[in-house]
Amino acid sequence: MISFGARRMHPAIVPMIERSAYIGGCDAVAVGKSAELIGAAPVGTMPHALILVMGDTLTDTRAFHEIIDKTVKRVSLIDTFHDEKFETLNVAEAMGKDLYAVRLDTPGSRRGDFLKILQEVRWELDLRGFKDLKLFVSGGLNEEEILRLNPVVDAYGIGTFISNAPVVDFAMDIVEIEGKPLAKRGKWSGAKRVVFCPHCRARKILPLKDKQDLCTCGKAYIDLLNALLSSGKAVQTLPDPRPIREFVLGQLASL
């Protein structure tokens, strides 16, 4: 899965959004600046603009193949002018083993049942021996559609659906004054610890003075609240996105 949603948010925060997309599970990002922040190469395919200017998908795919560095996998974008089935067969037969994948970005007005289009394309490719050619899809897909398309799709470019999120409605409140618990109505008073057990993944809120160190499963808690800034200075080095992403995916696995 590649993060494709950068152009839909304010440019000032795009690198942060794509870094979050990577941490949340995307395999790569499409914007150069964002990829740099992550420490990886940006990923994408040829755009529709190139095909419109070249005038024809096959001409364009051949030109791309001739000029672009051989380390880049050849992915032909095949929905610009013609029906997906015939254009895919046309390009696959002309390019043969040089073609790694076709990308379908089928416009919404033509996408009656995207799964059926993809199954038909897969059938026609297999019938002609192109069993290794991959299918890459994009275009306003969300998490329900991805689950449905998974049996036939090899890769996704996801934009709108992961470029924003519901606002988290948090608040900052005083809960203790000179060591004495005090909070407005509706807030629990007293300084607190938030502890996490890396073994059984339990989380618990405790009074700060509660020095309890062991989870009910017998293993030691980790404190989740740690100072990152002190007197305006960073007091910890932030981990790279990669280990954070691994921690997130580990949590998903345990759901």
Residue 213 makes contact with a second copy by CB under 8 A: no
Distance, in Å, from the CA atom of 102 to the CA atom of 88, rounded to the nearest integer, reads: 7
- Minimum Å gap between C-beta 177 and a second copy is 6
Site for a second copy in 156-175 (CB under 8 A): 160, 163-164, 166-170, 172-174
Q: Residue 75: which of 85, 61, 63 has the closest Cα? A: 61
Are the C-beta atoms of 30 and 3 separated by less than 8 Å? yes
Cβ neighbours, 10 Å, residue 162:
20
Q: Which is nearer to a second copy, 70 or 185 (CB)?
A: 185
Distance, in Å, from the CA atom of 157 to the CA atom of 138, rounded to the nearest integer, reads: 5
- Minimum Å gap between C-beta 109 and a second copy is 4
Distance, in Å, from the CA atom of 18 to the CA atom of 31, rounded to the nearest integer, reads: 8
Give the alpha-carbon dihedral of 161, 34, 107, 143, to 10 degrees.
Answer: -30
In angstroms, the first-to-last Cα distance of the chain is: 20
Q: Which is nearer to a second copy, 9 or 146 (CB)?
A: 9
Q: Residue 17: which of 146, 140, 4, 27 has the closest Cα? A: 4
Stretch that binds a second copy, among 31-39, 60-68, 91-99, 186-194 (CB under 8 A): 186-194
Binding mask 8-47 for a second copy (x = CB under 8 A): xxx-xx--x-------------------------------
Q: Which of 25, 32, 107, 198 binds a second copy (CB under 8 A)?
A: 107
Residue 203 makes contact with a second copy by CB under 8 A: no
Q: Which is nearer to a second copy, 218 or 232 (CB)?
A: 232
Residue 97 sits at φ, ψ, to 5 deg, of: -65, -15
- Minimum Å gap between C-beta 27 and a second copy is 22
Q: Which is nearer to a second copy, 22 or 114 (CB)?
A: 114
Site for a second copy in 57-96 (CB under 8 A): 79-83, 85-86
Site for a second copy in 110-149 (CB under 8 A): 110-114, 116-117, 120, 123-124, 127-128, 140
- Site residues for a second copy per CB under 8 A: 5, 7-10, 12-13, 16, 48-49, 51-53, 79-83, 85-86, 106-114, 116-117, 120, 123-124, 127-128, 140, 160, 163-164, 166-170, 172-174, 177, 181-190, 207
